[in-house]
Amino acid sequence: MSSNIVINASRLTLSYGHTDIIKDASFSVKKGEFVFITGPSGSGKSTLLKSLYGQIKPTAGNLMVGGLDMINIPRSKLQGLRTHLGIVFQDYKLINEWTVAKNVVLPLIIAGYSMDVQQTQAKRLLKHVKLSDHINKYPLELSGGEQQRVGVARAMSKNPFLILADEPTGNLDDYSSNVIWDLMENACGQLETTVLVVTHRIPSIFSIPYRHFIIENKGVYEVH
């Protein structure tokens, strides 16, 4: 496998109990690519995404993420891999008892960075997502769109090699959605981070090239 390939799935099967959700899917994603995965509700988009950060183990086939075999990955290596990923959730999953700044630097806290680095990075990222005025607020004091911007800032805080986003604009209005897509485009276009987004709908205006996969009948197919 080329070192340029970030995700490589080969005859991948994902199941819940005895029910296959994804079956015999093969695809790969290269470094710096922006990928959309779409499909109807319940088609297995989120399941596929969860398998990429090790929340679900494949039942058959092969899945490599960042050069690591996700089927036989030991717990410690999985933890290590997750510290190099940026994950964005539809329901934001911010820690409500923590300030916005602390939420943003969660990956840095986990990696053991000093307070100085954390503070500098929090200020820089919150400026980037236009939330500098909210640095000491708590997530519940923000709107949905603002919370998701915090989520995106958190995902980008440790310069991950791969950002995984699960319906990042699913709960947002058009204005907030556009802000989120801009941030994602920037992450990919300027920082060369690979971005994989699971969504119902690809935004109509998107300024960087992207690949599009669709999940249908348990298979993953590329749309050209």
Partner 1 sequence: MKFIKNHLTFIFPMMAILLGVEFFLVFDRTTNNYEKNLREGYSMFIVATEPISLEDFIELDSHINQSEEVKKEKLAKQIAKGMSKSSTQKILDALPHFYNIKFDSYLHTSTLEHIKAYLEADDRIKRVETFGSSYGASYTLFSFIKFTFKAFVIFMSLVSFFLVIKQMEIWSYAHKERMQVMETFGAPVMLRSGVLFKVAFIDGIISTVLTSSMFLFLKYRWAEESHIDILLQMQDLLFQPIDFLILLATALFIVFVSVYLVVFSTKE
Q: 81 or 153: whose CB is closer to partner 1?
A: 81
Query: Are 15 and 179 within 8 A, CB to CB?
Result: no
CA–CA separation, 224 and 222 (whole Å): 6
Q: Which residues of 183-219 are buried (b: 16+ CB within 10 A; e: fewer)?
A: bbbbbbeeeebbbbbbbeeebeeeeeebbebbbeebb
Among 106, 135, 191, 214, binds partner 1 (CB under 8 A): 106
Q: Minimum distance from CB of 163 to partner 1 (Å)? A: 12
Contact pick of 93, 137, 211, 212 for partner 1 (by CB under 8 A): 93
Contact criterion met (CB below 8 Å) for 194 and 31: yes
Find out whether 74 and 54 touch, Cβ atoms under 8 Å: no
- Closest distance to partner 1 from the beta carbon of 142 (Å): 16
Nearer to partner 1 by C-beta: 85 or 195?
85
Q: Quick check: 208 binds partner 1 (CB under 8 A)?
A: no
Pick from 39, 44, 58, 107: which binds partner 1 (CB under 8 A)? 107
Instruction: State yes or no: residue 117 binds partner 1 (CB under 8 A).
Output: no
Options 34, 36, 53, 213; binder of partner 1; rule CB under 8 A = 53
**Which span sits near partner 1 by CB under 8 A: 17-25, 85-93, 183-191, 210-218?**
85-93
Alpha-carbon 35 to chain mean position:
11
CA distance 134 to 138: 8
Q: Which amino acid is at 140?
A: L
Identify the three-state secondary structure at position 17.
coil
Binding of partner 1 at residue 95 (CB under 8 A)?
Answer: yes
Closer residue to partner 1 in complex, CB, 85/203: 85
Place of tokens 């934001």: 92
Q: Which string of x and - marks every residue 154-173 that binds partner 1 (by CB under 8 A)?
A: --------------------
Query: Rounded to 5 degrees, what are φ and ψ at 49?
Result: -65, -40
Binding residues (CB under 8 A) for partner 1: these are: 53, 55, 78-83, 85, 87, 93-95, 97, 106-107, 109-110
